[in-house]
Amino acid sequence: MTDQRPPNGELLSRTAARGRPERPDDTRVVLRRIAQFLTDAALSSVLPWCSLALLILVPVEPDGTIPEPGLALALGSLAVTVFVVVYVGYWAVLPALFRGQTPGMRLFGVRVITDDGSEATVGQMFLRWLLLAVDGFAGGLAGLLVMLATERRQRVGDLAARTLVVRVAPPPAGGASDHRYRHFP
């Protein structure tokens, strides 16, 4: 078996380079993905929902009219901006910077890779995030059914972005951990 190095310098076997993890259970992480998603959804939603709560500062007359529509527009615009920046940053940029992991993925021992075994790009992560709208249909049932129906447990976002979510080995006990994770819990 010939080995090759993807751009990140990790050594991958030909099997992993074709996107097929060497251990068949590497992509069998559905329960971990559910727990990870719920964790990341909670973590990534705190700031956006707090910004939306600022709208309670907008005065409203007893008849329901808003005497200061400029304030309402400014606070509403701020809330929308915070939603977009935080969600894109959390779900697309952060995992691209941290070897395919969000804090929830790190906590539950999974990460996103491309189907050829290399690290996923910001563009691939962004596409996965956009398609959460499809995967999240019916309370996430659509994504879950697609994951269970595909050999490598991919949801629609993974199929479109050509990515896999795989199990990762825990870091060595008391040993060298990737310095890029020092800010993660």
Contact 25, 109 (CB under 8 A): no
User: Which residues on adjacent β-strands are paired with residue 13?
Assistant: 3
Work out the average pLDDT over 50-76. 86
Whether 67 is covered by a domain: the verdict is: yes
What does the block give as tokens for 154? 């991919």
Please say if the pLDDT value at position 17 is more than 80: no
What pLDDT is stored for residue 101 in this prediction? 96
Whether 19 is covered by a domain: the verdict is: no
Which residue segment(s) compose the domain that 86 sits in? Answer: 24-168
Whether 4 is covered by a domain: the verdict is: no
Work out the average pLDDT over 172-181. 55
Whether 11 is covered by a domain: the verdict is: no
Please say if the pLDDT value at position 5 is more than 80: no
Whether 41 is covered by a domain: the verdict is: yes
Whether 8 is covered by a domain: the verdict is: no
Whether 178 is covered by a domain: the verdict is: no
User: Which residues on adjacent β-strands are paired with residue 163?
Assistant: 114
> What does the alpha-carbon distance between residue 22 and residue 36 come to, in Å, rounded to a whole number?
23
Please say if the pLDDT value at position 94 is more than 70: yes
What pLDDT is stored for residue 65 in this prediction? 85
> For the chain, what is the domain count?
1
Please say if the pLDDT value at position 79 is more than 70: yes
Whether 82 is covered by a domain: the verdict is: yes
